[in-house]
A and B are shown apart, each in its own frame.
Chain A
Amino acid sequence: MASAEATAEPQGGKRSREDQAAGRGGAWFPRWYWPTFTLPGTLWLVLLFILPFYTVLSVAFGTVEPLFRTPLPVYQPWYWSFGTFDTTLEKFYVSPAIYQEPLIRTFAYVFAASAICLVVGYAVAYYTARYAGKFRVPILLMLVAPFFISYLMRIYAWQSLLQPGGYVDDIWGIFAEPVNWLSGKPVTVILGLVYGYIPFMILPLYGSLDRIEQSMLEAGRDLGASPFHTFRRVTLPLSKPAILAGLVIVSLPMFGDYYTNDLLGSQNTSMLGNLINLAVFQPGQGQEAGSLTIVLMLIVVIPMGYYLRETRRAAERA
């Protein structure tokens, strides 16, 4: 087993170092020494991360009390029934499919917002990595700042600006008829999502673009490629992992987002997150909340898996 692993990873300065540490560590540390360190954290996660998931499954695949529709979770998987879960699922595709529009909207908004994040984020990251020069540190600080400003505050700030009679209206009014931005306009919600999550796109892109050597680009240019060609054939492929990682990082929370909509949109723009949020607090909707959460999990499981695989690969390469 161990030798199979060693042959699977032949290029391992890292691997051999680990073997060395493990081999020699055996003399210094009893076998249980390092596992003990991880034990508290692992137990914590089992109790407060895995067990909650299991509760969601038990609620969604359980039954409801017939009068008040309070969920009666079933904790034995062999007694799970999928009837009530099915009823929720059918609201997505059996007429009147009341959940269908929010679901389509979720995908459309997340797609649009992630695309805008990528285009704007790439430009900003590219400029900062390549041309910022002596302004690099202040620009980086400004790029990091949104991470430490509450999301709610940032969206609240926009809500104030977009109010009828707010500053956006004042400026917009010079050119065109006033618009009620907060009356459930998809544009407002999409731009709100972009505003909220774009910092998560810029930093990985910056990290990756910053690592591309200037000499690579010069080589491309020396060999006769146009700036556009150099970008397409050198820069873009080299930053592709960061692009994909960035897209995953911004889209994952967007799929579950409901507060952006609550502050900047209306019922006409509600998304999957809003459905879940409404179900959580409505009496008799506990099961619905569980079932919808499973739908959300099914949506995000692929991007999440991709991201985890990539991080593992990156760790192995390092």
Chain B
Amino acid sequence: MSDVALDPVVGSTPRRPRLFRNPWRKPWGLLLVTLGYLLWSLIPVVIAVVFSFNAGRSRSTWQGFSLRWWTGEPFDALFTDPSLRAAMFQTFRLSIITVLIAVPLGTAFAIGIDRWHGRPARGANFMMLLSFVVPEMILGVSLFLMFTQLIDNLIPLGTTSQILGLATFQMSYSVVIVRARMLSIGPEYEEAALDLGARPGQSLRRVLLPLLSPAILASVAVVFADSVDNFVIVRYLSGTADSEPLSVKIYSAARSSPTPAVNAAATVMLVATITVVLVGYLLYRRFSKGQEPADVGGFAQV
């Protein structure tokens, strides 16, 4: 379109002709880098998934297809090894409870902080943002030291402390997502509802929350996926081996002698997160029909 209009202008600067060789040529170099990057970033994962179906014990030499490491082996497959099975349950238990805590807390915080102005509000907001950017390692070690040192074993390491730690780390995600939505809807709809005689509780329930539902949904998906994948915090707070979720099992196995059952475990995590995110995304699109698509943009912010 613009090629036609601009070409003659560009062509008429004869002083530096070499630089102006067809400026709309295909950027082959960039295309190669991008393709190379995409292949580099995804192929190892695909190979890891494929190797969960390896017939042999190796995770790097293909020996034919089998379900041996999923169900076949009597004790070492993903669904027969009691420790891996327990880890699978632990992963989902932690993630679901984390979602149930972090998303409501984060949503309420985002609503309040958007409407409440003043010094204490800024302080609370700063603390929240700090928890958003602080490296997980620092939070993990801090929580570990707190649960082991302060108020001696009031809450022992294990599922409870893991959930407390995860929810702390994940709350900020839902705050960021819901807050962005709050900013984009503005106070007008609520004011209209209040003008029309709604009580504050009604305007919250009937106007604000429905408007926020896509963002709440998005944060459920993100928090769940991120909790399934979490490793640093969950590992430090796991205490004994039976509260270790899949991510920690993968780490420990990778350092000793992993079998393709580990690949199968990783595949389960992959399928779980991708499914939740896809379902979340589809629902999100349904909920926010006709409004700006902010999903990828939201992730870009994170």
**A-B interaction:** yes
Of the stretches B36-44, B67-75, B212-220, the one at the interface is: B36-44
Interface residues of B in 26-55 (CB under 8 A from A): 26-27, 29-31, 33-34, 37-38, 40-42, 44-45, 47-48, 51
Assembly CA distance A131 to B273 (angstroms): 30
Interface string of B51-70 (1 = CB under 8 A from A): 10000000111000000000
Chain A residues lying within 8 Å of B117, measured Cβ to Cβ, are: 18, 22
Mark interface residues in A287-298 (1 if CB within 8 Å of B CB, else 0): 001100100110
Taken together as a complex, chains A and B put the C-alpha atoms of A48 and B165 apart, in Å, by 7
Q: How far is the CB of A269 from chain B (nearest CB, A)?
A: 15
Q: C-beta contact mask, A28-44 vs B, less than 8 Å → 1, else 0?
A: 11000111111111101
Q: Are A150 and B228 in contact (CB under 8 A)?
A: yes
User: Least Cβ distance of A154 to chain B in Å?
Assistant: 6
- In angstroms, Cα B59 to Cα A296, docked, is 35
B210 interface contact, C-beta 8 A: no
Does B13 touch A at the CB level, under 8 Å?
yes
Distance in angstroms from B299 CB to nearest chain A CB is: 6
Q: B127 on the interface (CB 8 Å rule)?
A: yes
Judge if A112 is at the interface, Cβ distance under 8 Å: no
| Residue in B51, B128, B274 whose beta carbon sits within 8 Å of that of A148 in the complex | B274
In this complex, the member of B26, B45, B135 whose beta carbon has the largest number of chain A beta carbons within 10 angstroms is B135
With A33-B200, A263-B255 in contact, is A286–B145 under 8 Å at CB?
A: yes
Tell whether A108 is near chain B: CB-to-CB under 8 Å.
no
Bound form: Cα–Cα A256–B146 in Å: 19
Chain B residue numbers with a CB within 8 Å of A33 are 200
- Minimum CB–CB distance for A68 against chain B, Å: 14
A257 nearest CB neighbor, chain B only = B137
From A20, which residue of chain B is reached at the shortest CB distance?
B187
- Count A/B pairs, Cβ under 8 Å: 292
B282 close to A (CB within 8 Å): no
Contact between B61 and A44 (Cβ–Cβ < 8 Å)? no
B13: which A residues are within 8 A, CB to CB? 224
Task: Select A163's contact among B60, B138, B251, beta carbons within 8 Å.
Answer: B60
Q: Is the CB of A124 within 8 A of B34?
A: yes
Is there an interface contact between A207 and B300, defined as CB atoms closer than 8 Å?
Answer: yes
Q: How far is the CA of A33 from the CA of B208 in the complex (A)?
A: 15
Q: Chain B residues near A99: list those with CB within 8 A.
A: none
Of the candidates A50, A73, A307, the one whose C-beta lies within 8 Å of that of B127 is A50
Give 1 or 0 for each of B155-168: 1 = CB within 8 Å of chain A CB: 00000000011011
Check: A113 CB closer than 8 A to any chain B CB. Answer: no
A246-280 CB contacts (< 8 Å) to partner B: 252-253, 255-259, 262-263, 273, 276, 280
B41 touches A146 (CB 8 A): yes
- Tally chain A residues at the interface, Cβ within 8 Å: 107
- Also in contact, A124 and B2, with CB within 8 A (given A156-B48, A160-B59): no
Q: Does B113 contact A (CB under 8 A)?
A: yes
* Complex interface: chain A residues within 8 A of B148 (CB): 286
| CB contact list, A153-201 vs B, under 8 A | 153-161, 163, 165-167, 195, 198-199
When the two chains form the complex, which single residue of A71, A75, A139, A227 contacts B34, counting CB atoms closer than 8 Å? A139
Expressed in whole angstroms, the minimum distance between the Cβ of B26 and any Cβ of chain A is 8
Evaluate contact between B139 and A49: CB separation under 8 angstroms: yes
Contact between chains at A226 and B229 (CB < 8 Å):
no
Query: A286 contacts B200, CB within 8 Å?
Result: no
Mark the stretch among A53-61, A84-92, A233-241 that contacts chain B. Answer: A53-61
Partner of B200, one of A29, A58, A167: A29
Q: Complex: how many Å from CA A12 to CA B284?
A: 32
**Complex interface: chain A residues within 8 A of B255 (CB):** 262-263
- A18: min CB distance to chain B, Å: 7
Asked if B42 contacts A296 (CB within 8 A), the reply is no
B25 to chain A, nearest CB (A): 10
Contact with A along B140-162 (1 / 0, CB 8 A): 01111110111000000000000
Residues of B within 8 A of A146 (CB): 41-42
Choose among B115, B186, B228, B251 the residue with the greatest number of A CB atoms under 10 Å from its CB: B115
- B residues apposed to A, CB below 8 Å: 2, 6, 9-10, 13, 16, 19-20, 23, 26-27, 29-31, 33-34, 37-38, 40-42, 44-45, 47-48, 51, 59-61, 105-106, 108-109, 111-113, 115-117, 120-121, 124, 126-131, 133-139, 141-146, 148-150, 164-165, 167-168, 171, 175, 183, 186-187, 191, 194, 200, 225, 228-229, 231-232, 236, 247, 250-251, 254-255, 258, 262-263, 266, 269-270, 273-274, 277, 296-297, 299-302
Can you list the 3 inter-chain pairs with the closest CB atoms, starting with the nearest? A37-B112, A256-B137, A41-B109
